Amino acid sequence: MEKNIDIEYANIDLDRTERTGMQEVIYCAGKTAEQIAGIVGAMVERGLYNILLTRISEEKVDFLKKSIGGHDVFYDADGKIGVVDRKLSDAPIGNITIVSAGTSDLGVVREAAVTAEVLGNRVNVINDVGVAGIHRLLAKEDMLKEARVLIVVAGMEGALASVVGGLVGCPVIAVPTSVGYGASFGGISALLSMLNSCAAGVSVVNIDNGFGAAVSASRINQMETAQD
């Protein structure tokens, strides 16, 4: 059984599903449209689907569609994320709830949501409940308590992660965003906040990395009861 596809500029890891339960995802920043099309082409040829394309522009998606005609490419412009031959599960599992601090964080929320859905999870979203109006968050306490995993998306000072972390007992994945200006330093402020959270049970991914948060959350959401 083929473990990888070795083409000139890429070496596609077919064994990844076997090892990690999830096939290789294509990070499209820094790749040309031709390279992306080449990689996707080799994958669809082998019958693969639900191929995730992160950080991809609309132009590259258009090129890809022409290049691999006959295959569908779902695209979410806010999240700059695509999915080739997307097939969502009819019975998504559990409950991943994504909570965002503000409307400007929407792109990261979308990247996380599209990823988590493709991975077979049931996804809920609570937008714009930043801590400057804490009652908005507290009003959603029931939804928070029902989640199996929480993804908290926030820029600026990123305080939402700590507040949410103090309210729940489930695992929390925090995603700092580059929303803000001046001393937010492109997301460093939120990143440091989340790493220093006074609430335990919060772990953190890279700035604007909705995709990575969704993968971690999916693995957690799909856990089964431990056996003796």
User: Would you state the structure tokens that stand for residue 109, as one six-digit string?
Assistant: 């929320």
The alpha-helical segments, DSSP class H, found in the chain are: 16-20, 33-45, 58-67, 106-118, 134-138, 141-146, 160-165, 188-195, 210-221
167: contact with a copy of itself by CB under 8 A:
yes
Q: Are 14 and 5 in contact (CB under 8 A)?
A: yes
89: contact with a copy of itself by CB under 8 A:
no
Segment interacting with a copy of itself (CB under 8 A) among 40-48, 59-67, 68-76, 154-162: 154-162
User: Would you state the structure tokens that stand for residue 56, as one six-digit string?
Assistant: 């991809």
**Residue 182 and residue 184: Cα distance in Å, rounded?**
5
228: contact with a copy of itself by CB under 8 A:
yes
Q: Are 37 and 9 in contact (CB under 8 A)?
A: no
79: contact with a copy of itself by CB under 8 A:
no
| Interface with a copy of itself (CB under 8 A), residue from 11, 46, 62, 89 | 11
31: contact with a copy of itself by CB under 8 A:
yes
13: contact with a copy of itself by CB under 8 A:
yes
| Interface with a copy of itself (CB under 8 A), residue from 42, 48, 143, 170 | 170
82: contact with a copy of itself by CB under 8 A:
no
Neighbouring residues of 82: CB distance < 8 A, sequence distance ≥ 6: 52, 53, 56, 61, 64, 73, 74, 75, 76
Segment interacting with a copy of itself (CB under 8 A) among 42-50, 64-72, 82-90, 215-223: 215-223
Q: How far is the CB of 130 from a copy of itself (least distance, A)?
A: 5
**Residue 200 and residue 135: Cα distance in Å, rounded?**
22
Q: Which of residues 105-144 bind a copy of itself (CB under 8 A)?
A: 105-106, 127-136, 139
Give the largest CA-CA distance in the chain. 55
Report the residue number, 30 or 70, with the smaller CB distance to a copy of itself: 30
Q: How far is the CB of 176 from a copy of itself (least distance, A)?
A: 8
Q: By C-alpha distance, which of 23, 33, 32 is closest to 62?
A: 33
76: contact with a copy of itself by CB under 8 A:
no
Report the residue number, 48 or 220, with the smaller CB distance to a copy of itself: 220
